[in-house]
Amino acid sequence: MKKFTALLLSLVLALCVVPAMAETLIVATNPEFPPFEYVEGEDVVGLDIDIAREIAKDLGWEVEVQSMAFDAIVPAVASGKATIAIAGMTINDERKMSVDFSDPYYNAKQACIVLKDGVVTDGETLKDKVIGVQQGTTGDFAAEEYTAADKVMRYNKALDAVMELAGGKLDAVIIDAPVAANLVASMNNENLVVLDNIEFGDEFYGIAVQKGNADLVASINATIERINTDGTMDELLLKYFPVEEEAAEDAEAAAE
């Protein structure tokens, strides 16, 4: 009996000194939205993924990235299948009905990609045209302000929409401005241009969490504040937006 008691006590003590398992931040995203999230080799990378890792670092948690269709992201968080959603997602009232949001971490507007010598040259000529969008994004909703619902062509990938435009199957593509610039630059197609004469208004990206999880929202907001004050966000923006950085350098050189 004494041996059994001693063995039991030893087991209890051993369990007490085992370090607690770190929690896992399950990140829902759609890796078809460069440079915010995209696939590189076998990994999902991008600005949003790096921000998610900063959040996990501050929490002391591990990170697990789950890829899914964009319109499945909010339901995944709302149901508790994912801890957060970060996917270049605009904060809006419709999504707020299902999830809570962090403070904004990025201000992005919509942009319109067209063919250089195509029929669309401004907001007026965009009306009633065939417009490509990434399904479920803000661009999806913006397109219907210009054309009929049956003329909005929806794609799972923004790149697919731009390729269809390049092939002459669409008149325009509406997508978030930084993504538009990234795609046009990466495709290196001189026939694709981003119009600068259509105003879509400000759109703020936020990180979604399950409704009522105020503690997690507070932790995420603390990380957003930190990376905006310690220089981390500036480093990430330079890392993922080299096109913008080169443009800034060119402007500085011209001013000298």
pLDDT at 178: 85
Share of the chain above pLDDT 70, in %: 86
239: left (phi over 0), alpha (psi -120 to 50) or beta: alpha
| Distance separating alpha carbons of residues 192 and 187, to the nearest angstrom | 9
For the ranges 45-54, 102-111, 216-225, 237-246, the lowest mean pLDDT is seen at: 237-246
Q: What is the residue extent of each domain of the chain? A: 24-107+203-255, 110-195
pLDDT at 20: 47
Helices 177-187 & 242-255, crossing angle to 10 degrees? Answer: 90
pLDDT per residue as tens digits for the range 69-99: 999 999 999 999 999 999 999 999 999 999 9
Instruction: Report the topology of domain 24-107+203-255.
Output: D-Maltodextrin-Binding Protein; domain 2 (3.40.190)
Domains 24-107+203-255 and 110-195 share a fold: yes
Instruction: Report the topology of domain 110-195.
Output: D-Maltodextrin-Binding Protein; domain 2 (3.40.190)
